[in-house]
A = this chain, B = another copy of it.
């Protein structure tokens, strides 16, 4: 009986079904899985996939509408569409959370890069990674965070592990909440793109050690930026 219990006896549910559904939809939008102008899956489909009732999905979507994240249109070929401009969430985190979030992120993402580099990737996966790299490198400041996240998620997907991808998505969401509270500058972006290039090249070349190394440096960059701004 000691403090490993703190991890195991934590609350079984992060929130109620409504809150968790909002959270997921927000993630899809903020991480750029559904881009501005694109349509979310239909309410019925979301209800099935998220494992909640359609009523709950609709309440969640309503909440996103009220916060100007999405708009819904009726009729065939209607649906719920992501707005071009999405609002920024209110920041404000505790310090302990920062260490926790950054530690988990580093473990997951360096591991994902290494694992992806160690697999033999198919042509479509290789093409996908290159495409996401290109997308991120040509992104404007406004789009950057979203396309950056899409790239990192693509790397996680390339591991072939669904639960690792899910873990990266969640960890990234937490990290982005922190990153949103500091400015994103042109030089950071150039530097970041160069690092992305190294990471993806290492993965495509099948060099796990170098992929891990490159990802570690990439993450350490934003991590120290964050600690500098927030401490």
Query: Could you list which residues of chain A lie within 8 angstroms of chain B, going by C-beta atoms?
Result: 1-13, 17, 20-21, 24, 27-28, 31, 33-34, 38, 41, 46, 49-52, 99-101, 103-104, 106-108, 110-112, 114-115, 128, 150, 153-154, 156-157, 159-167, 169, 171
Contacts and interface: CB of A to CB of B under 8 A. Distances in A.
A25 to B, nearest CB: 9
Contacts of A101: 163
Given A12-B21, A163-B171, 8 more contacts: A1-B33, A8-B27, A9-B46, A99-B161, A104-B161, A107-B115, A107-B159, A108-B108
A41 B9 contact: yes
A44 to B, nearest CB: 13
Contacts of A31: 4, 8
A4 to B, nearest CB: 5
A93 B179 CA distance: 39
B163 A100 contact: yes
A153 B2 CA distance: 11
Central interface residue in A51, A114, A154, A161, by most chain B CB within 10 Å: A161
Given A21-B12, A51-B13, A52-B12, A104 B163 contact: yes
Contacts of A104: 161, 163-164, 167
A162 B100 contact: yes
B21 A8 contact: no
A107 B8 contact: no
A150 B31 CA distance: 35
Given A9-B41, A49-B10, A167 B167 contact: yes
A9 B100 contact: no
